[in-house]
Amino acid sequence: MLRFKYFLSLLLFLNSAVSVFAAEWTNYETAVQFFQRAEFDSTIRYASRIDKSDSLYFYSRLLVGHALLEMDELSEAKELFESLLEFRLNRSYVYNGLGLYHLYKYQDSKFITKFLKRIFSTDDLEKAVTLFERAIRLDPDYLDARLNKNRALIISAHSDSLINAITDLELLSTAYPDNLEIKYYLGEAKLAIGNVQEATYIFFDIIDKNPNYSGAQLSLAFIFFDQKEYNHFSEHYMKALPGLYNPRRIKDLYQDILDIMNSEEIRTADSRRLTGQFFVEFWEKRDPLRITPANERLIEHYKRLEYARANYPGSNQTGYDDRGHIYVKYGPPDDYYRFNTVDGFVLENESWVYNIAGETYNFDFVNNQSGYILTTDLSRALVNPDYRLSFSKLQDLYNRRAHLSNYYATVSRELASVDPRGTPDYLMEVSGVLNLSSTREKVKKENLPVSVYELEMEGTDLPFEFDVFKYYEPDSARWFADFIYVLKLENLNMRFRDQYYKGKFQEKLIVWSTKQAAKNYTFENTVEIISEKNKSSDYFAGKLRSPLFFGENQMHFQLEDRNSDRFRIIQNEITAVYPENRLVMSDILLSTEIRPAQPSDNQLFSRNNFYIHPVPGRNFLKEKPLFSYFEIYYIAQAENGTKRCLIETKIKNYRTGRNLSSLLDIINPFSDGKTSKSAVSIINEMEFSESFEPVVLAFDVSQLEAGIYEFIIRVTDQRSGQSVDTKKLLYLSY
């Protein structure tokens, strides 16, 4: 009886063990299936369920290690493989995994400088080959290890290594005639040694047997690109994408397009596992001519990549510096200036100018120790600490660029877009430095230091003068005035120090309105001014912002000399009139998509409960609707309490000035149906409930010819009769 109980207990234990093993084996098989489909998160999840009770744990951990490698978690993969060495099971598998770690680590550093690669990366490649050879010695029939070793030899690009790889791969191809992966690496080896014809034959043979073999399609694409057969390049590139799942190939292609991706595409790429379908959609929507077999934008992009990597080399993963970033994004500049005279005072620097859709954009680059970097301040090119000499050199830098078209229209926010996750695309159109024609002789550039030595200025008897250069603050429907001012300072209490006079001053602006309750605004700033000894006067430049209220605004500006107990006040009164009930219209935002905002939308693109999809460069496809968004402020109210406006929209060909009328107003959520159309414009009569209203209009522009157009919206307040209009340039393409 006792023996029977022992036997029953043993039977129950074995039955439980078999059940556990069956469940774990099911998890392992599921993990293998997920790995084969390149779904590595699921692979790790299922393989990690297997308990550390038998040899199946060893193989499940191998699977996790390879999944981590493909996910670029190289350090975690290395630790896992090293921990498996203690199992003393099939060490050839472990050595193969460690070899892949070193091979991937080498590949990830392929764009760092040659000097650093010689120190760090070559060592990784040699270690990879050594580990693969160790795995092959333990198991001569281990096909994966032999293939990986040949991959490493091909990457090394040494002639002896390539010949050895070709010899071994030809033997494997004979032994495994149906293995397309062996054929593929044989083609890559032939290509690396310069035998393009045989490599092309091998890749076409692979595609005949499996048209969805992405590696062969991509290799053929770039062979045709090198041969300048760009239509065939585009054809095979696009054919490679639908079946593309290899994470490392996807990573390379993603790196290629990162500079031209918009914020929404980057957000989408970050939120999901990328496959080739992402690239299919990316390039299809950028194809300018769908009726042609080739994707012209794809071809142009890879031409720019090739040029940028050859002419603007850099040490980051893209292979080019900030000049290359701008080149890939916008193409060759319309005009440029290069300063490459090394004189010990100024670093090498360049300036590029682009004329895009009627607007001018400027980019400055300075060559520091790490290469050319994009900057919004050319003073970074100065290396001499002497203040007077530096300012003289800085003036010289700008004078040398005087021939560049509208040089001072600099897009300062492009600096943040070097990291494409930094700035929304539409903000790149914002001009950070204005071309102040009336003060250009007095203030060379708005972002110069406030204290300016030897600032050139035409003679004047006025103690100072102001130049208003900007009104506008749409967020709060309040108006502000930004002022640039230049003061001529004479006989102040300057203190002698070495060969210079130095002094501290406090500037103050007091603003109030006379037609409303007193609203005071005080701007205070303490500054230091340096003047040359024996000089009777100096100039001082600055910028300040002041709110403007309805009616007459009186402003008192004063500069207090704080250098001794005796201080002096220089002051002046300015009057600015801002008329009451002035109809105000915001800038126009043109878009391919305007819809009600959702909580998940990027708040940078949401405004007044609308989501406004930004369009970099104002380039619109004709077959898509054109949306416009703008805001109207201070609409006058009629006696019956209504607020009505007429909104007239015109589109004119920018090159000829000819009015075009083939527009159809297809969406107008604020319209009351009273819409009339003429040969030259579209007029909408709208009724509003508030004195501030957002307006959304949409148009079908498919009948227009491709080209640059001027988009004009004119708003007329039916109660007061006031009118205001805003213009925008856009480019329609096929």
Can you list the domains of the chain with their CATH numbers? Answer: 1-89 (1.25.40), 211-311 (no CATH), 312-429 (no CATH), 459-578 (2.60.40.10), 584-733 (2.60.40.10)
Q: d(Cα 142, Cα 152) in Å, to the nearest integer?
A: 16
Confidence of residue 509 (pLDDT cuts 50, 70, 90): low
As a whole number, mean pLDDT of residues 142-171 equals 86
Tens-digit pLDDT profile for residues 644-669: 888 888 887 754 333 333 333 333 33
Q: Which two tokens stand for residue 373?
A: 């970097």
Q: d(Cα 589, Cα 229) in Å, to the nearest integer?
A: 40
Most confident stretch, 111-125, 163-177, 491-505, 618-632: 163-177
Beta-strand runs (E) in 343-455:
349-356, 359-368, 371-375
Q: What is the pTM of this model?
A: 0.52
Q: Where are the alpha helices (DSSP H) in 1-142?
A: 2-36, 40-47, 55-70, 74-84, 91-108, 114-116, 122-138
Q: Which two tokens stand for residue 515?
A: 């037609």
Is 95 exposed, middle or buried (CB count within 10 Å of its CB: 0-12, 13-18, 19+)?
buried
DSSP assignment of 589-648 equals EEES-EEE--TTS-GGGEETTEEE---GGGEEETTS-EEEEEEEE-PPPPTTS-EEEEEE
Residue 44 confidence (pLDDT): 79
Q: In this structure, how many other beta carbons lie within 10 angstroms of the beta carbon of residue 604?
A: 13
Tell which wins on pLDDT, 170 or 492. 170
For helices 196-209 and 214-226, what crossing angle results, to 10°? 150
The tokens 């004047």 sit on which residue?
460
Residue 224 confidence (pLDDT): 92
Per-chain mean pLDDT for the chain:
69
- Sign of the Cα pseudo-torsion (311, 315, 321, 325, in order): positive
Tell which wins on pLDDT, 358 or 4. 358
- Out of 46-55, 276-285, 577-586, 602-611, which region has the weakest mean confidence (pLDDT)? 577-586
Residue 307 confidence (pLDDT): 93
As a whole number, mean pLDDT of residues 158-174 equals 87
Residue 303 confidence (pLDDT): 93
Phi and psi angles of residue 272, each rounded to the nearest 5 degrees, phi first: -150, 165
Residue 649 confidence (pLDDT): 87
As a whole number, mean pLDDT of residues 396-405 equals 67
Tens-digit pLDDT profile for residues 19-50: 445 666 677 777 777 777 777 777 877 777 77
Q: In this structure, how many other beta carbons lie within 10 angstroms of the beta carbon of residue 192?
A: 20
Please, are residues 307 and 318 in contact by the beta-carbon 8 Å criterion?
Answer: no
Grouping H, G, I as helix, E, B as strand and the rest as coil, residue 59 is helix
Q: Which two tokens stand for residue 306?
A: 């090739």
Q: Is the predicted pLDDT of residue 289 greater than 80, yes or no?
A: no
Q: d(Cα 110, Cα 96) in Å, to the nearest integer?
A: 21
Please, are residues 87 and 52 in contact by the beta-carbon 8 Å criterion?
Answer: no
Comparing CA positions, the residue from 590, 586, 612 lying closest to residue 357 is 590
The tokens 């000097």 sit on which residue?
115
Q: Is the predicted pLDDT of residue 71 greater than 50, yes or no?
A: yes
Tens-digit pLDDT profile for residues 682-720: 788 888 776 567 888 888 877 777 777 778 888 888 877
Distance from the Cα of residue 482 to its chain's centroid: 30
Q: In this structure, how many other beta carbons lie within 10 angstroms of the beta carbon of residue 217?
A: 24
Please, are residues 99 and 142 in contact by the beta-carbon 8 Å criterion?
Answer: no
Beta-strand runs (E) in 515-588:
521-532, 537-548, 551-561, 569-578, 584-585
Tens-digit pLDDT profile for residues 194-232: 889 999 999 999 999 998 898 899 999 999 999 999 989
Residue 457 confidence (pLDDT): 35
Q: d(Cα 539, Cα 492) in Å, to the nearest integer?
A: 12
Q: Which two tokens stand for residue 292?
A: 């042609």
Question: Who's near 617: CB < 8 A, 6+ residues apart?
Answer: 356, 357, 731
Q: Is the predicted pLDDT of residue 122 greater than 60, yes or no?
A: no
Q: d(Cα 93, Cα 434) in Å, to the nearest integer?
A: 64
Q: d(Cα 303, Cα 288) in Å, to the nearest integer?
A: 16
Q: d(Cα 541, Cα 77) in Å, to the nearest integer?
A: 60
Residue 110 confidence (pLDDT): 52
Q: Are strands 723-733 and 619-621 parallel, antiparallel or unpaired?
A: parallel
Confidence of residue 489 (pLDDT cuts 50, 70, 90): low
Question: Who's near 499: CB < 8 A, 6+ residues apart?
Answer: 532, 533
Tens-digit pLDDT profile for residues 433-483: 222 233 334 344 433 333 333 333 333 333 344 444 344 443 333 455 656
Please, are residues 148 and 132 in contact by the beta-carbon 8 Å criterion?
Answer: yes
Comparing CA positions, the residue from 493, 556, 553 lying closest to residue 524 is 556
Q: d(Cα 146, Cα 95) in Å, to the nearest integer?
A: 12
